[in-house]
Amino acid sequence: RKEVEQDPGPFNVPEGATVAFNCTYSNSASQSFFWYRQDCRKEPKLLMSVYSSGNEDGRFTAQLNRASQYISLLIRDSKLSDSATYLCAVNDMRFGAGTRLTVKP
Amino acid sequence: GAGVSQTPSNKVTEKGKYVELRCDPISGHTALYWYRQSLGQGPEFLIYFQGTGAADDSGLPNDRFFAVRPEGSVSTLKIQRTERGDSAVYLCASSASPAGEDTQYFGPGTRLTVL
């Protein structure tokens, strides 16, 4: 089993839709969790850290479920500019394969 | 300020050759990470430096791969006897604090092609 797993998608959604991604991790001792965004042929950039109590940044909400060992990312009112690959990372250095999102007009 | 830089941006080499990839982290960042990323995959961890020492090299795939950071700033990833399967984008990242405590900033990567 991979250390960090994500649904690869692709997710194709219309503008304004709400979309959610999950990411599962195998190491129950994991302490830190992150969501990154990666545009085509670019480097990953941190989108947000994921805190135990859940956290929100504008249209983006991240949650952690330690019991089931997964983190989630919710994007509300999606924009065309949200089209990218979303990577989850655990303990800073272990990344999932990424979920591709395409937002269409 | 300047971000993480990597050179070269592209490297084409022949199977069996030796290559060196360079990473200049953000000034003052003590932590430095190397990853490689293949098409359709996430970054695969290779090695993590805290200062001059390799704090975690568990991701290096075999003994053909080696990395150094002699003065705690610039790092070089060295690949001996390159194989076609080594072709990937090699990403470097740095952070101001040890792993898990601070944001990682990635460089643009070096695209390595082994013919």
Q: Is the pLDDT of residue B115 over 90?
A: yes
Of residues B37 and B100, more confidence is placed in B37
> Averaged over B21-28, what is the pLDDT?
96
Q: Is the pLDDT of residue B15 over 70?
A: yes
A93 Cβ under 8 Å from any chain B Cβ: yes
pLDDT digits (tens, 9 = 90+) for B42-72: 999 999 999 999 999 999 999 999 999 999 9
Nearest residue on chain A to B110, alpha-carbon basis? A43
Q: What is the pLDDT of residue A93?
A: 87
Give dist(CA A94, CA A80) in Å, integer. Answer: 28
pLDDT digits (tens, 9 = 90+) for A11-30: 999 999 999 999 999 999 88
pLDDT digits (tens, 9 = 90+) for A33-71: 999 999 999 999 999 999 888 899 999 999 999 999 999
pLDDT band at B103 (very low <50, low <70, confident <90, very high): confident
> How many other β-carbons are positioned within 10 Å of the β-carbon of residue B107?
22
Report chain B's mean pLDDT, rounded to a whole number. Answer: 94
- The residue type of A8 is P
Burial of A31 (0-12, 13-18, 19+ CB in 10 A): exposed
Q: Mark yes or no for CB contact B41/A42 under 8 Å.
A: no
> Averaged over A79-95, what is the pLDDT?
93
Q: What is the pLDDT of residue B2?
A: 84
High-pLDDT (> 70) share of chain B, %: 97
Give the number of beta-carbon pairs within 8 Å between A and B. 46
Give dist(CA B31, CA B75) in Å, integer. Answer: 11
For residue B29, the chain A residues in CB contact (below 8 A) are none
Q: Is the pLDDT of residue B1 over 60?
A: no
